[in-house]
Amino acid sequence: MENKKVNIVTGTLSYAFLLFMIIISIFPAIWMLSTSIKQTKDLYNIPPEIIPADPTFDSYITILRTSKMYDAFFNSVIITFFVLAITLFLAILAGYGLARYRFKGSGMIKIFMLFGQMIPGVVIIIPLYFLFARLRLLDSHFSIIIADLALTIPMAVIMLSAYFAGIPRELEEAARIDGATSVGALFRVVLPISKPGLISVAIYTFIHAWEEFLFALNLSMTAKTRTLPVAISTFAGEFAVDWGSTMAAAAVVALPVLAIFLLCNKYFVKGLSEGAVKG
């Protein structure tokens, strides 16, 4: 009986702690949405209101009428598409090679990739800036894409190599007996059953490229290459910040990420868990 009471108390405390962590996690998003539909006069009310008494969608109308947001959206789509496509293509080939072929230094390659992930972007932005400036590639989509690839490819290779390593080799050997080449076995046998891992990498890469701010801020000089996160920062003036428009724009930027994550959540979790166990 006493053990049962202890289990009930422990379970209650565990659920209370989880509920507290969930509230902390989603509160910034709730506050963002709340601020985006508040009138200017209600932004600084004390105590603050989560649900405004007189909501308005003027901030959303404002950003949708702003041409710079459309230009930034187009730039973000271009950069995200190429970063995603190149990352998946190279990570599939490199991850498969590291998972299936053992050669001198293959283990060190993974270690160096992990080491590269620990280096913050602010450390490499200065040499990247001078490199692209010397090559006259500043204020171009190409420079931002290359900078993003420097961070997305290593992590994608690590994730996919761990996932590929857990796929039985017998499946590929059977395909080779039927006349398939190594590349053919990869694309016809391995990739179709690696969908959770591929989706996990795609979501990770999409979120990074879509929401990346540091590289885009420093490598884009004009509106022709400015991405959505950088465009949001332009709502802050020298003496004031248009919080309503800023939060509305942030909500619009976060919407595609939220939609994709909700649609592919089960594949994302499955890919990460299976990759971690198999790797």
Q: How many residues does the chain have?
A: 279
Q: What is the pLDDT of residues 235-267, one digit of tens each?
A: 766 556 778 888 888 888 888 888 877 777 666
Q: How buried is residue 93: exposed, middle or buried, by Cβ count under 10 Å (0-12/13-18/19+)? A: middle
Q: What is the pLDDT of residues 71-124, one digit of tens each?
A: 889 999 999 999 999 999 999 988 888 887 777 777 777 777 777 777 777 888
Tokens of 172: 């590929």
Query: How far is residue 38's CA from residue 32's CA, in Å, rounded to a whole number?
Result: 10
How much is the pLDDT for 277? 42
CATH superfamily of 67-278: MetI-like (1.10.3720.10)
Q: What is the pLDDT of residues 131-164, one digit of tens each?
A: 999 989 898 999 999 999 988 998 888 888 888 8
Q: Where are the domains of the chain?
A: 1-56, 67-278
Count Cβ atoms below 10 Å from residue 107 Cβ, excluding itself: 11
Instruction: Please choose, from the candidates 158, 155, 153, 143, the residue with its C-alpha nearest in 3D space to the C-alpha of residue 84.
Output: 153
